[in-house]
C-alpha cells in the first residue's frame, strides 16, 4: 500500500533525525516525554517563547527521571537550565507556572535561597 510505504519512509527519516539529535546532545527522553535544547543561551522569556514555537513548554521536572533528562543538558553544555517553576504568593514556597503545587523537588539543602538567582 502506498500510504504504508510513505509512513515507513517518514518513520525512518524521523528515526535518523532523532539519532543525529541524540549524538549532538540536543534531545533526550524520559517517561515518554521528549526534552530538547538548541544549546543556545537565552533569557527566561525567550526560552519560553522558543519552547512554545516548537510546540512544547519549558521543562518542569516531575520525577527523578525527568530531572535527570534536564541535568543531561546542564552537564553536556556546562550551563544552567530554566524550569517552569515560580515562587508562590507564600514566601519560600514554589509552584508550577500554571499555579499547581510542586509534587517533586530535588534542590540542595537550604535552596532555593531566595536570592533572586534561582
Q: Structural domain tally of the chain?
A: 1
Give the whole-angstrom CA distance, residue 48 versus residue 57.
7
94-96 and 27-30 strand pairing:
unpaired
In a domain, 62, yes or no: yes
Q: What CATH code is carried by the domain that includes residue 14?
A: 3.10.100.10
Task: Determine the pLDDT at residue 26.
Answer: 84
pLDDT per position as a tens digit, 63-94: 999 999 999 999 988 988 999 998 888 877 88
Pair type for strands 33-36 and 85-87: unpaired
Q: How many CB atoms lie within 10 A of CB 50?
A: 15
Which residues of the chain fall short of a pLDDT of 70?
Answer: 20, 23-24, 114-118
The whole model's pTM is what? 0.76
Residue 32 lies in a domain: yes
* Residue 7 structural domain: 2-83
Tell me, what's the pLDDT at 54?
84
Amino acid at each position: 500500500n502506498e500510504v504504508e510505504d510513505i509512513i515507513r519512509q517518514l518513520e525512518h527519516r524521523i528515526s535518523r533525525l532523532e539519532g543525529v539529535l541524540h549524538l549532538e546532545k540536543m534531545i533526550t527522553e524520559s517517561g515518554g516525554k521528549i526534552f530538547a535544547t538548541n544549546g543556545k543561551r537565552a533569557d527566561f522569556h525567550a526560552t519560553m517563547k522558543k519552547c512554545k514555537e516548537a510546540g512544547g513548554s519549558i521543562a518542569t521536572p516531575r520525577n527523578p527521571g525527568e530531572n535527570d533528562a534536564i541535568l543531561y543538558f546542564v552537564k553536556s553544555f556546562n550551563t544552567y537550565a530554566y524550569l517552569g517553576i515560580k515562587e508562590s504568593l507564600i514566601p519560600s514556597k514554589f509552584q508550577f507556572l500554571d499555579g499547581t503545587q510542586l509534587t517533586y523537588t530535588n534542590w540542595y539543602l537550604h535552596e532555593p535561597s531566595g536570592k533572586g538567582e534561582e
